[in-house]
Amino acid sequence: EAQVTQNPRYLITVTGKKLTVTCSQNMNHEYMSWYRQDPGLGLRQIYYSMNVEVTDKGDVPEGYKVSRKEKRNFPLILESPSPNQTSLYFCASSLYAGGGDEQFFGPGTRLTVL
Amino acid sequence: QKEVEQDPGPLSVPEGAIVSLNCTYSNSAFQYFMWYRQYSRKGPELLMYTYSSGNKEDGRFTAQVDKSSKYISLFIRDSQPSDSATYLCAMEGNTGTASKLTFGTGTRLQVTL
């Protein structure tokens, strides 16, 4: 089944404790992206990757890191989480960037930072 | 001012009603217009896609784009309880700041029996 998977689905952590949210897609997509979704603010892009070893900042990159060592995986790293990073996170992928290409979203990771 | 504005709702309608969901935008470089549907505790899924101005129909759903007014709409006919979800408009262009997908904040729709 073609899909985007994320782990964990739910995570409660404390300020400053490094964490990684994994994202994997099995559709051989070139473009991958991370979003956070907050009430009243909608989906905002954190980082994106056009292909392996090519990543760039989105609208809200502060406090986050990403890497793209393999085409299928795009982990999101929070080196020192803070309470303002409490949010619902989505990974997405599409065959290519731009051109109205459909983005496929993962199921989401609900993160709470205490 | 946000690039894409969308009324957050919630919008509550009885089963069988016609639903109209709308977004306005400010970036004239947007050329691709999409509606994503997001059920509770799920990721968004593409529902409708339109390139440039015009209408597109798919079953009970019709998407309209009016680039001259920078206004897009999604109509749902004969609404069903299974249509209860949050509807996100999204837009994209080809160049510069418009080349990434920009979402509205979403409208929550509740269809009641």
With an 8 Å Cβ cutoff, are A98 and B99 in contact?
Answer: yes
What was the pLDDT predicted at B52? 86
Contact A78, A66 (CB under 8 A): no
Least confident of A28-32, A82-86, B7-11, B57-61: B7-11
Q: How confident is the model at residue A96 (pLDDT cuts 50, 70, 90)?
A: confident
pLDDT digits (tens, 9 = 90+) for A33-62: 999 999 989 899 999 999 999 999 999 999
The DSSP secondary structure of B40-73, one letter per residue, reads TTS--EEEEEEESSEEEEETTEEEEEETTTTEEE
What was the pLDDT predicted at B47? 96
The DSSP secondary structure of A41-75, one letter per residue, reads TEEEEEEEEEETTEEEE-S--TT-EE--SSSSB--
In terms of CA atoms, which chain A residue is nearest residue B43? A107
Three-state DSSP class for residue B77: coil
Question: What distance in Å separates the CA atoms of residue A71 and residue A50, rounded to the nearest whole number?
Answer: 10
What was the pLDDT predicted at A37? 96
pLDDT digits (tens, 9 = 90+) for B21-71: 999 999 998 999 999 999 999 999 999 999 888 899 999 999 999 999 999
Q: How confident is the model at residue B108 (pLDDT cuts 50, 70, 90)?
A: very high
Q: Strand B4-6 to strand A104-105: parallel, antiparallel, or no bridges (unpaired)? A: unpaired
Residue B96 above 70 pLDDT?
no
What angle (nearest 5°) sits at the alpha carbon of residue A56, between those of residues A54 and A59? Answer: 160
> Of B32, B43, B105, which is closest to A100 when you measure between CB atoms?
B32
Chain A residues close to B105, C-beta within 8 Å: 40-42
Interface test with A, best of B50, B101, B102 (most A CBs within 10 A): B101
